[in-house]
């Protein structure tokens, strides 16, 4: 967010992990600065990192590392993890000062897991969902390639529910219900058991972004229930 002298928000946006704008909420002024401290080039759509241009669509630099293989085998890599590292000069990735690891939570009932997921995402307990979508449940495809729909014993596609809310910060949050679990994970893995996920909203699909846990540090990876 950018504010003026009075504190009024003049520019506000949400980003994807590698720097693409996910949503432009307020645009009273032009702001070329991007999430990782890069400078947006409107003519090319690229981000400028002082020594190299960066493509937020692919998450890679357009030119190789100036020090060649001395910088590693991947000459075009941005950083190992875009949510915990930055490369302000286009020369070397820098890790964050503190390491943050999300954990799983376990509950004796579906209700308790759902309530805690709402609480962690700052959704009022009394809030009703804005909408509830039914989305096909998927798993990793054969030989670990792609994804395919999960089928029940009769060969029917299994659907999961996605609950859309606004939290107290007016952010859109999606809680995914996976009561069926994911059979392609080991039986002792949290994903294999019935659980909820708290996800970022993807405005392009109108559903949850299945690869992005909601950004608040209070949110866990899985809310597992019996």
**Would 100 be classed as within a structural domain?**
no
User: Which residue, of 45, 61, 95, is where some domain finishes?
Assistant: 95
Per-residue confidence in pLDDT tens, the chain, 226 aa: 888 888 889 999 998 888 888 899 999 999 998 877 889 998 998 999 889 999 998 989 999 998 888 777 888 988 888 878 888 888 888 887 666 788 999 999 999 999 999 999 999 999 999 999 998 887 766 655 567 888 888 889 989 899 999 999 999 999 999 887 777 677 788 888 999 999 999 998 899 998 899 999 999 999 999 8
- Give the structural domain span for 114: 105-225
Q: Cα(36)–Cα(117) distance, rounded to whole angstroms?
A: 29
**124 & 218 share domain:** yes
**113 & 215 share domain:** yes
DSSP states of 5-74: TTS-EEEEEEE-TTS-EEEEEEESS---B-TTS-EEETTTTEEE-SSSEEETTTTEESS--TTGGGG-S-
Angle at 10 between CA 31 and CA 44, to 5 degrees: 20
What's this model's pTM, rounded to 2 decimal places? 0.54
**52 & 147 share domain:** no
Q: How many domains does the chain have?
A: 2
Write down the pLDDT at residue 146. Answer: 63
Q: Cα(52)–Cα(67) distance, rounded to whole angstroms?
A: 12
Write down the pLDDT at residue 185. Answer: 74
């Amino acid at each position: 967010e950018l504010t003026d002298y009075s504190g009024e928000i003049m520019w506000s946006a949400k980003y994807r992990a590698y720097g693409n704008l996910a949503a432009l909420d307020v645009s009273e002024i032009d702001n070329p600065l991007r999430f990782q401290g890069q400078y947006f080039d409107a003519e090319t759509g690229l981000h400028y990192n002082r020594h190299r241009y960066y493509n937020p669509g692919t998450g890679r630099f357009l030119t190789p590392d100036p020090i060649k293989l001395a910088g590693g085998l991947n000459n075009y890599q941005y950083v190992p993890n875009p949510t915990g590292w930055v490369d302000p000069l286009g020369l070397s990735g820098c890790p964050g000062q503190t390491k943050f690891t999300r954990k799983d939570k376990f509950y004796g009932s579906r209700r308790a897991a759902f309530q805690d997921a709402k609480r962690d995402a700052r959704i009022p307990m009394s809030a009703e969902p804005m909408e509830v979508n039914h989305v096909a449940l998927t798993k990793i495809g054969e030989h670990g390639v792609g994804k395919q729909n999960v089928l029940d014993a009769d060969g029917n596609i299994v659907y999961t529910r996605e609950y859309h809310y606004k939290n107290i910060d007016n952010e859109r949050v999606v809680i995914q219900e996976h009561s069926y679990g994911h059979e392609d994970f080991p039986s002792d893995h949290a994903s294999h058991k019935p659980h909820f996920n708290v996800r970022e909203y993807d405005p392009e699909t109108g559903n949850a972004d299945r690869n992005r846990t909601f950004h608040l540090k209070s949110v866990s990876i899985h809310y597992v229930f019996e």
